[in-house]
């Protein structure tokens, strides 16, 4: 599915969702526009496009603000070449409430929630249209709402739980709900949505939310809450669908020519072009200063893998990296691009190309004159397998858990781990695979380390600049789990918001 915008949709959502672009503020004309708009299934489908469209913002699910700026820069396995103040604040673990990246992630989430709330409420009240079609539209909107609340609760803890459209008559001073209540709503939305969605879509609908995507997000939600038996149950329910699997070749998972493949549970949909339907992933990947015949219209090399992450890969007796994932997604000094072999990284990589000497090519597959059409993955089957393994291990089924880990390792060309590893060793093995499997994806980095209580130990062992981070002087890093501050910009508009511990506005 490639998102195509709709003029009528723009007229609706430019007013109906203005509340989220400026946190919880509305134009008073929205009710009249909505009432005139939601009269048919085609109207409802057009509005649903706007819900999906909210995922396309860089602050939402494009693997930029989330995967790069937050997940992998905070863990320290990626470096941001820009050195902009807002990025330095995050990868130095400062986390001020004025950080613009955290502000934008928070605001983008409520944009998506607002659009989803409008579709859920208005489509439910429509008198015309086939009931099954309406149920599917509502279910997709519930998934997106759950996805954004998942993002909010894992980053900020309890947040305002808004489940109905707001208008100019609404009380916009809304207190935070507990994280327990937010998790409860996420589970409710996903349980209801999976019952009304198909296992797969056909034709132009491919890429929409499926029942499997709902089960996958439940898998992640249960794991965060340490509901291990529920993780196992919903994962085995997903397995029973028989629709998703690991692809044999790691690089093929990410190729624009192989979108919405059997490993993708859900991804943000883009198409190449000059309009807002494309993304900047190629520009943010390709090395600045490299020949345009390989990079296209622009090359910024914003995010590069760190040397210590490269060093974590298993090697053969000669010292060469064995892990196929490296060779499928990274190029270093003297190495050829996987899809453009005429491009070879210099032996002495210019500092402007990459501070570490390495470039990631997961998303840089060809020169792109306009914006990229690569679909950034949100949830992959590989993550589901490792989540399942972690839950099994916590339920004292370590041997079975290792069997799942070995599926990931086999594809990577690595030897199987013995099923005799103890519980602690098995958990370490799972997290090692997360680290190497999901670089520059919205999983496997900070959030997984954080939810499991492994973050501080990890950065002490793995970040070469650990001593410069002054962890002892940052009490917000000692909470369990670590949460980011409620953004000052949100509090300026909604004084009912209480700040998280150890932060100020």
What's the pLDDT at 480? 95
Pairing of strands 359-360, 78-80: unpaired
User: Strand, coil or helix: what is 331?
Assistant: strand
**C-alpha dihedral (372, 373, 379, 385), degrees to nearest 10:** -100
Instruction: State how far the Cα of 245 lies from the Cα of 392, in Å rounded to an integer.
Output: 19
Q: For position 17, what pLDDT does the model report?
A: 39
State how beta strands 264-267 and 377-380 pair: antiparallel
Residues 290, 298: Cα–Cα separation, whole Å: 10
Question: CA distances (Å), 279 to each of 181, 260, 283, 285, in order?
Answer: 34, 17, 9, 12
Residue 83, helix vs strand vs coil: coil
Residue 167 is predicted with a pLDDT of 87
pLDDT score for 116: 98
Which residues neighbour 419 within 8 Å (Cβ) at sequence distance 6 or greater?
398, 399, 402, 403
Q: Which helix (H) or strand (E) holds 90?
A: helix 85-91
The CATH class given to the 1-197+466-505 domain equals: mainly alpha
Domain boundaries, the chain: 1-197+466-505, 280-367, 381-465
Given this model, what pLDDT does residue 157 score?
Answer: 98
- Segments in 277-375 forming alpha helices (H): 281-285, 292-295, 307-311, 324-329
Tell me which residue of 445, 452, 459 sits closest to 426, measured CA to CA: 452
pLDDT of residue 373: 96
pLDDT in tens, the chain (505 residues): 554 444 334 334 443 433 334 333 333 334 435 667 899 999 999 999 999 999 999 999 999 999 999 999 999 999 999 889 999 999 999 999 999 999 999 999 999 999 999 999 999 999 999 999 999 999 999 999 999 999 999 999 999 999 999 988 888 899 999 999 999 999 999 999 999 999 999 999 999 999 999 999 999 999 999 999 999 999 999 999 999 999 999 999 999 999 999 999 999 999 998 776 899 999 999 999 999 999 999 999 999 999 999 999 999 999 999 999 999 999 999 999 999 999 999 999 999 999 999 999 999 999 998 899 999 999 999 999 999 999 999 999 999 999 999 999 999 999 999 999 999 999 999 999 999 999 999 999 999 999 999 999 999 999 999 999 999 999 999 999 999 999 999 999 999 999 999 999 9
List Cα–Cα distances, 431 to 75, 378, 386, 427, 450, in angstroms: 13, 18, 9, 6, 12
Query: How far is C-alpha 196 from the geometric centre of its chain's CA atoms?
Result: 24
Taking CA atoms, 68 is separated from 95, 446, 468, in Å, by 16, 10, 21
DSSP 160-196: ----S---TTS----PPPPHHHHHHHHHHHHHHHHHH
Is residue 379 within a helix (H) or strand (E), and if so which, with residue range?
Answer: strand 377-380
Question: What pLDDT, on a 0 to 100 scale, did the predictor assign at position 478?
Answer: 96
Helices H, strands E: what count in the chain?
21, 6
């Amino acid at each position: 599915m490639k998102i195509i915008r709709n003029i009528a949709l723009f007229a609706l959502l430019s007013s109906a969702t203005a509340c989220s672009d400026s946190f919880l503020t509305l134009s008073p004309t929205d009710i009249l526009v909505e009432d005139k708009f939601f009269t048919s299934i085609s109207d409802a489908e057009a509005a649903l496009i706007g819900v999906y469209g909210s995922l396309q913002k860089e602050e939402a699910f494009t693997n930029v603000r989330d995967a790069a700026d937050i997940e992998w820069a905070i863990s320290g396995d990626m470096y941001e070449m820009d050195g902009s103040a807002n990025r330095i604040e995050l990868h130095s673990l400062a986390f001020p409430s004025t950080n613009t990246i955290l502000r934008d992630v928070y605001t983008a989430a409520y944009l998506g929630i607002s659009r989803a709330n409008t579709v859920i409420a208005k489509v439910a009240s429509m008198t015309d249209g086939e009931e099954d079609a309406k149920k599917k539209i509502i279910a997709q909107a519930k998934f997106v709402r759950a996805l954004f609340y998942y993002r909010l609760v894992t980053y900020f803890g309890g947040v305002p739980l808004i489940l109905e459209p707001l208008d100019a008559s609404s009380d916009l001073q809304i207190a935070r709900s507990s994280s327990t209540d937010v998790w409860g709503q996420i589970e409710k939305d996903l349980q209801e949505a999976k019952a009304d969605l198909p296992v797969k879509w056909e034709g132009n609908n491919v890429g929409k939310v499926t029942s499997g995507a709902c089960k996958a997000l439940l898998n992640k939600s249960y794991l965060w809450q340490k509901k291990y038996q529920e993780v196992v149950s919903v994962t085995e329910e997903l397995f029973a669908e028989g629709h998703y699997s690991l692809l044999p070749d790691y690089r093929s998972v990410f190729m624009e020519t192989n979108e919405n493949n059997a490993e993708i549970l859900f991804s943000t949909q883009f198409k190449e072009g000059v309009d807002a339907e494309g993304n900047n992933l190629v520009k943010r990947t390709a090395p600045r200063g490299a020949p345009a015949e390989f990079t296209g219209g622009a090359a910024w090399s914003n995010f590069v893998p760190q040397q210590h992450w490269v060093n974590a890969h298993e090697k053969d007796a000669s010292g060469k990296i064995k892990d196929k994932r490296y060779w499928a997604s990274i190029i270093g000094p003297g190495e050829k691009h996987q899809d453009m072999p005429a491009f070879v990284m210099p032996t002495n990589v210019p500092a402007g190309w990459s501070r570490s000497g390495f470039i990631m090519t997961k998303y840089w597959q060809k020169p792109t004159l306009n914006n990229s059409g690569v679909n950034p993955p949100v949830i992959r089957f590989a993550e589901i397998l490792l989540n399942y393994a972690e839950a099994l291990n916590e339920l004292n089924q370590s041997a079975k858990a290792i069997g799942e880990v070995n599926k990931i390792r086999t594809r990577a060309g690595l030897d199987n781990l013995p099923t005799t590893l103890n519980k602690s060793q098995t958990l370490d093995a799972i997290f090692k695979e997360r680290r190497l499997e999901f670089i520059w994806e919205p999983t496997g980095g900070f959030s997984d380390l954080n939810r499991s209580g492994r973050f501080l130990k990890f950065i002490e062992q793995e970040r070469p600049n650990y001593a410069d981070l002054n962890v002892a002087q940052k009490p917000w890093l000692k909470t369990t789990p670590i949460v980011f501050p409620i953004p000052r910009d949100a509090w300026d508009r909604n004084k009912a918001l209480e700040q998280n511990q150890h932060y100020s506005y």
